[in-house]
Structure 1
Amino acid sequence: MTAPAAPATVEPAAAGPTTRARRPAWFVVALVVAGVAAVVAGVWFTGAATTALLRDPGAAVRWGLPVAATLTELAGALTVGALVLAVAVLPRRAGSDETAARTRRGVPVADGRAYPRSLVVAAGAAAAWTLLSVLHLVLTYANVAGQPLDAPTFGDQLWLFVSDIEMGRTLATAALVAALVTVGAALSRTPTGAAWTAALALVALWQQAQLGHVAGAAGHALAMSSMVLHLVGAAVWVGALAALAVLVGRLGADLVPSAARYSVIAGWCLAAVAASGVVNSVVRLSSWSDLTTRYGLLVLAKIAFTAALAGLGLLHRRRTLRAMAGAPRVTGLFWRLVLVELLVMGAVSGVAVALGASAPPVPDVPPVDQSPAYQITGHPLPPPLTPVRWLTEWRWDVLLAAAVVAGIVVYWRWALRLARRGDRWPWARTASWTAGLLLFGWATNGGAATYGHILFSAHMVQHMVLAMVVPIFLVLAAPVTLALRALPVRSAALAGDVSRGPREWILVLVHSHVGQFFAHPLVAAANFVGSMIAFYYTGLFEWSLRSPVGHLFMVVHFSLVGYLFVNALIGIDPGPRRPPYPQRLLLLFATMAFHAFFGVALVSTEQLFVADWFGLMGRPWGPSAIADQQTGGAITWGIGEIPTLALAIALAISWARDDERTARNRDRRVDRDGDAELDEYNRMLADLDRRD
């Protein structure tokens, strides 16, 4: 566990550090015991398990539910952590003659025995996660219904809870996804399979995030996004370290590089957990005085544990990892890194579950707001839209805001890494990337996002900025080229290591058949055009308005589609085979002509999109819903012209530079070898003259 800064020089280790195989089970048991003890103490402290006055389910349910929730979270974390190790941390062995040659030069050799075992650990943990999720479901129903487990009608009522109640369906979905993760982990053999299985595990964590205290409160959307970030960060942080402890007996020479790679991931997880924890606390606490309540004291305890983990991570980064890199026996140093952190992590997990089982100071009920806008969107109606309010009104999405911050930090770190190495990276590209992400952050959190759920015209501003303006800045920043120059090569640190770090995953995505297909200029243009029709003339648009998942899908999809289209026209990064410049201009104007046609169709239509949303908003200000939709069509048409002109100018400049580069190359070739083409032409003229 460390801060995000992670120099690549830590990964190489001295050849042949030795470790002794020890049974790590009692370390993981310590994690579980610490978590259970913390949740029991927290539930007792807050009184969350006291006997109910009406319909008491019994002590076994009241005390068993938080314990089951803790064990479920820890099993899920171990599953996700083991999969993350297989995706991006553990070395994989590839025997070859090159490995032997590099061994003679003193380069350490990848062991690779821990990699296949990590998938076995993931499958076993996922099986436990499935069973514990079912137990959590049963105990949750018993607690909600106030029925003991041996009630005569318990089974029939449990089925109704699963089939008809949203909470029951969510818990059942999480258990089903955990079962699918078990199958996926058991069948996976490659990093690609582990990556798909890890993505499936994130779906279960997303389901778990919907069960927080603020599911019906005013901060629902904010709390949902922050809870997803919190759960994912905590699961990777805790689970990957626990999985390393389980696998330590098979790591051998891979222990030092694996610990260093995990350290980088843990630093980002710490940032995610800390930021999302602050947001969750703000949503659940109404004032500073709430910190003196029993719930507030648990929040302070969780903050203290997290701060202790951050301090331990920094200490281990500066001392333990460096000591391990030069020590002949590193197992003892590794356990010094792991033991205390696992104990504190278990305590943090237990306190988190105790918080979830306790009533927060802010009531877990929606505020009294009978306005149509609040009933439809879940947010109060914002004030009338003015030019200034485009910049002053904000509605934060923690996931997307965190993506903006992480993107800027990573890009600047890569650029600074090149500068320290003595390489030059154009400042204009760094400025372009920063401007593009800041604009993305405004479009997804600022005025366009605030009014995009109220006004169709504001939604179209958001759409056009994401699909046509932001991609230009990001493409001109050449992020793939920068990453390939700044990121280290895995095989340079360990001979025979064919695992995938960030650089290797980027190359896999860029050169894969799927990536090449969607990046092809014709496919990118067709996707750019067809997505708008499919989105607005089907139920996808309504899904994006009513569901946080749908909204996230809309943002990611149109940003990615726009990026692929712009990259096919003016991209600098390696990728698709781009057509000649005249064909690119033709493709641009053909695509934008359809785009203009789509805007004109919106202006002239009299049919309101999602009428039971925009038509029932009850706005006392602004134009009517149909007039606003027609304004949105004009915006689609108008905003599309400016990026089109910018792309055409960029294409013309690139065309001219390409001609100049071709001419310079030809001049150099002529100076070196002579002009064979001109000589041949002159000979042809001379032959013609002689015949005449």
Structure 2
Amino acid sequence: MLGPAALLAVALAALIGGLLVGGGADPLAIQDPGPVVRWGLPVAKLLVNLGAAGMIGALVLAVWALSPKHPEFDAALDVAAASAAVMTVASAATGLITFLDVTGEPLAFDDLFGRKLGQFISTIELGQAWLITTLVAAAVTVLCFAVRNHTALVFVAVLAVASLVPMAQQGHAAGTAGHDAAIAALGLHLVFAAVWLGGLVTIVLLQRTLGRDRLVLVMARYSTVALVCFIVVAISGYASAALRIGDWPDLATPYGALVIAKVAALVALGLFGAAQRRWLIGRMSRSATSATRPFWTLVVMELAFMGIAAGVAAALGRTAPPVAERLPTVPTPAELLTGEPLPPWPEWWRYFTEWRPDLIWLLACGFGIFFYVAGVVRLRRRGDRWPIYRTVLWVAGLVLLAFITNGGVNAYESYLFSAHMLGHMALTMAVPVLLVPGAPVTLAARAVHPRKDGSRGGREWILIAVHSRFAQVIANPIVAAVLFAGSLWVFYYSPLFRWTMLDHIGHEWMIAHFLITGYLFVQSLIGIDPVPYRLPYPFRLLLLLGTMAFHAFFGLAIMMGTGLLLADWYGAMGWGADALVDQQLGGGIAWSIGEIPTVALAITVAFQWARSDEKESRRRDRHADRTGDAELAEYNARLAALADRDNA
């Protein structure tokens, strides 16, 4: 228990120091809530963060690194349940103290105070956020005790991660330009820091249950996850700091000093992780005793620096950033709607020069390229072949995805329906046409080492997902075609369209939905990865032509329409563009640009059909050579017998 105790003690010390440096607990000139609230709120938030880390880290470790065949699995779930319980109590306390902080109400136990508190958590967005966080954490607490199925725990882990969403939406930049970027950066920071910190704490608590041999194996698996977490935490932390600090001189402010302290702790953690991965794990696997003491010394020091980072992060949440959280003095209608400064007028070439980064998809594309190339390298090192065109197409597809989600299309789609439709067509048609021939599932099945101890790594989870009943349904060619074409009408003619414009989470869902439905449809036509059922080639062409005719009809319907789909958004921009004309242009994009991938898909299906016939002909020739044309001789003999009978 030395490691978790050191973590908590150092985190509290760092929090107190950070509050003193940044002034986060200083008395307010007007309506001061008192020292209990000023100091109690950041302490409660720190406990929320630590509880979330233990909950998420233990669940991820159980899902990814531990085996249900060993006692470690149930012990990790007990850690997750206890951490979730801590988060539940701390979240409830945070909600109460937040109410006292923003209203200036003294703590009381009468009906009037209860009504005011109830109104705060039921009607005010900030109160609702903490109520949701508390309820989700409580649900995870119960589920960690009730659920022991390995597959079901994935959904429990997803629910645990979802508990951080309300916290991510409360970032400093919630009311300023860069709001969406701030939510994405803070959300990534919270999730991956929780996995990193919570995973290490769980391993420390399970050290006796694991034993030496299992400890070395689990630590090796954890170190890979920790490396990914370090990269994401570093990049998302930089993005958050850039949004809040602005210029280099702002580092001289109290907020800047706390950022520097957090960066220093992060650098130290990176060095500890490198030492652990490159030296101590290998040494422990070779020696039973020589590396035990330095290993645990390093772990305790790593937890201490994690405590510093956690404490400073909680103090930053109460420290005013140098960048003012406000829009321009006289914002335009477009700026009022989007909360973002207007990009330059969209000349065609600006779609290739303007950038609006989306950190979630930028990191997803980067890791997607890295792990794919790493898999190809592993295959080649052991002497297996992997067609170069698959790698080229996969990388090109992810580069295009990164460009669509971070470049000019993303910069203009909130202001112009045509830009939005251009991004939609690229996500649902162009990107999947490049990604599907990359055959990522086949590559993972061949390149990732299988687990032998009952735990599930990347290979096991991918194969389970591909062969699940849900995948069998949505991968069916007819279902995939219906999802691909039908979701167009459902999305644009339902409240979903509005949600994706107003909520950044909705925007991220939209990207994932378009990408997945397009991928499933293209996979059903030209895919190489295993699927439950494939149509014969003639029916694939018919399915393609029928679906794309439906798709073209959708584009024509928008192009010929005379009413705005989202009049109080695109029609209220006042950005110098006729919203209806721009919408009709978007319909033309949906109708015309969709034809290019259609032709590419038709050519590919025809090519695969020809190759399939050629392979079947060669197979029959080889069979005839092996059997001496026995089938042909038997057929000729049967014809001769029939002729003899007729002559008789």
Query: Any conservation in 2 of the 1:312–1:341 contact (CA below 8 Å)?
Result: yes
Partner residue, 2:173: 214
Matched, 1:523 2:479: yes
How far has the Cα of 1:316 moved from its partner?
A: 1.1
**1:299-337 per-position Cα deviation (integer Å, ceiling 9, x unaligned):** 111000000000011011111100111122475454234
State which of 51, 71, 75 in structure 1 corresponds to 2:51: 75
State which of 193, 200, 203 in structure 1 corresponds to 2:152: 193
Matched, 1:205 2:164: yes
Instruction: Describe the SS at the equivalent of 2:105.
Output: coil
Query: Any conservation in 1 of the 2:177–2:341 contact (CA below 8 Å)?
Result: no
Q: TM-score, normalised by structure 2?
A: 0.97
Aligned residue pair count = 643
Instruction: Describe the SS at the equivalent of 2:91.
Output: helix
Partner residue, 2:596: 642
**1:365-415 per-position Cα deviation (integer Å, ceiling 9, x unaligned):** 333342010111112232222221110111111111111111111111111
Q: TM-score, normalised by structure 1?
A: 0.91
Partner residue, 1:371: 332
Cα distance in 1 for partners of 2:409, 2:21 equals: 44
Query: Any conservation in 2 of the 1:31–1:343 contact (CA below 8 Å)?
Result: yes
Partner residue, 1:53: 29
Partner residue, 2:272: 312
Partner residue, 2:80: 122
**1:395-448 per-position Cα deviation (integer Å, ceiling 9, x unaligned):** 111111111111111111111111222222111111101110111111111111
Equivalent positions of 1:93-104 (< 5 A) are 93=69
Structure 1 gap segments, 5+ residues each: 1-24, 94-111, 492-496
Cα distance in 1 for partners of 2:415, 2:27 equals: 45
State which of 260, 270, 273 in structure 2 corresponds to 1:300: 260
Residue type of the alignment partner of 1:120: D
Query: Any conservation in 2 of the 1:217–1:367 contact (CA below 8 Å)?
Result: no
Query: Any conservation in 1 of the 2:68–2:150 contact (CA below 8 Å)?
Result: no
Equivalent positions of 1:517-596 (< 5 A) are 517-596=473-552
Query: Any conservation in 2 of the 1:229–1:272 contact (CA below 8 Å)?
Result: yes
Residue type of the alignment partner of 1:137: G
Partner residue, 1:229: 188
Partner residue, 1:104: none
Query: Any conservation in 2 of the 1:32–1:346 contact (CA below 8 Å)?
Result: yes
How far has the Cα of 1:594 moved from its partner?
A: 0.5
State which of 65, 70, 79 in structure 2 corresponds to 1:89: 65
How far has the Cα of 1:517 moved from its partner?
A: 0.8
Q: Report the more deviating stretch, 207-216 or 75-84.
A: 207-216
**1:541-562 per-position Cα deviation (integer Å, ceiling 9, x unaligned):** 1111111011111100110011
Partner residue, 1:392: 353
Query: Any conservation in 1 of the 2:2–2:300 contact (CA below 8 Å)?
Result: no
Cα distance in 2 for partners of 1:316, 1:521 equals: 47
CA RMSD of superposed structures (Å): 1.4
Query: Any conservation in 1 of the 2:51–2:83 contact (CA below 8 Å)?
Result: yes
Partner residue, 2:15: 39
How far has the Cα of 1:164 moved from its partner?
A: 2.0
Query: Any conservation in 1 of the 2:624–2:631 contact (CA below 8 Å)?
Result: no
Instruction: Describe the SS at the equivalent of 2:317.
Output: helix
Query: Any conservation in 2 of the 1:471–1:563 contact (CA below 8 Å)?
Result: yes
Cα distance in 1 for partners of 2:292, 2:90 equals: 32
Instruction: Describe the SS at the equivalent of 1:615.
Output: helix
Partner residue, 1:351: 312
Query: Any conservation in 2 of the 1:91–1:254 contact (CA below 8 Å)?
Result: no
State which of 407, 420, 423 in structure 2 corresponds to 1:446: 407
Cα distance in 2 for partners of 1:67, 1:442 equals: 41
CA spacing shift, 1:628–1:235, aligned 2, 3 Å = same
State which of 375, 380, 384 in structure 2 corresponds to 1:423: 384
Question: Runs of at least 4 residues of structure 1 off by over 4 A?
Answer: 150-153
**1:160-208 per-position Cα deviation (integer Å, ceiling 9, x unaligned):** 2212211111111111111111122111102222211110111111111
Instruction: Describe the SS at the equivalent of 1:362.
Output: coil
Cα distance in 2 for partners of 1:674, 1:606 equals: 71
Cα distance in 2 for partners of 1:243, 1:366 equals: 43
Matched, 1:242 2:201: yes
Partner residue, 1:268: 228
**1:327-376 per-position Cα deviation (integer Å, ceiling 9, x unaligned):** 22475454234211111101100001111110111123333342010111
How far has the Cα of 1:262 moved from its partner?
A: 0.3
Partner residue, 1:168: 127
Partner residue, 1:470: 431
How far has the Cα of 1:234 moved from its partner?
A: 0.4
Cα distance in 2 for partners of 1:676, 1:635 equals: 58
Cα distance in 2 for partners of 1:177, 1:156 equals: 23
How far has the Cα of 1:156 moved from its partner?
A: 2.9
State which of 408, 413, 430 in structure 1 corresponds to 2:374: 413
Cα distance in 1 for partners of 2:330, 2:508 equals: 26
Cα distance in 1 for partners of 2:413, 2:26 equals: 45
**1:607-642 per-position Cα deviation (integer Å, ceiling 9, x unaligned):** 21011001111012x4x1111111111111111111
Query: Any conservation in 2 of the 1:568–1:576 contact (CA below 8 Å)?
Result: no
State which of 179, 182, 194 in structure 1 corresponds to 2:138: 179
Percent of aligned pairs with the same amino acid: 48
Partner residue, 2:624: 670
State which of 632, 640, 643 in structure 1 corresponds to 2:586: 632
Instruction: Describe the SS at the equivalent of 1:576.
Output: coil
Residue type of the alignment partner of 1:429: R
Query: Any conservation in 1 of the 2:525–2:540 contact (CA below 8 Å)?
Result: yes
Query: Any conservation in 1 of the 2:140–2:160 contact (CA below 8 Å)?
Result: yes
Cα distance in 1 for partners of 2:305, 2:531 equals: 45
Partner residue, 2:608: 654
Query: Any conservation in 1 of the 2:22–2:319 contact (CA below 8 Å)?
Result: yes
Query: Any conservation in 1 of the 2:47–2:86 contact (CA below 8 Å)?
Result: no
Matched, 1:361 2:322: yes
Q: Which has the higher contact order (CA 8 A, sep 6+)?
A: 1
Residue type of the alignment partner of 2:2: W
Q: Report the more deviating stretch, 231-240 or 163-172.
A: 163-172
Partner residue, 1:687: 641
Residue type of the alignment partner of 1:181: V
Structure 2 gap segments, 5+ residues each: none
Cα distance in 1 for partners of 2:450, 2:329 equals: 57
Instruction: Describe the SS at the equivalent of 2:556.
Output: helix
Instruction: Describe the SS at the equivalent of 2:347.
Output: coil
Instruction: Describe the SS at the equivalent of 1:612.
Output: coil
How far has the Cα of 1:289 moved from its partner?
A: 0.6
Residue type of the alignment partner of 2:472: Q
CA spacing shift, 1:368–1:677, aligned 2, 3 Å = farther
Cα distance in 1 for partners of 2:267, 2:441 equals: 35
Query: Any conservation in 1 of the 2:81–2:142 contact (CA below 8 Å)?
Result: yes
Query: Any conservation in 1 of the 2:558–2:583 contact (CA below 8 Å)?
Result: yes
CA spacing shift, 1:151–1:218, aligned 2, 3 Å = farther
How far has the Cα of 1:646 moved from its partner?
A: 0.5
How far has the Cα of 1:120 moved from its partner?
A: 1.4
How far has the Cα of 1:151 moved from its partner?
A: 8.5
Cα distance in 2 for partners of 1:322, 1:254 equals: 13
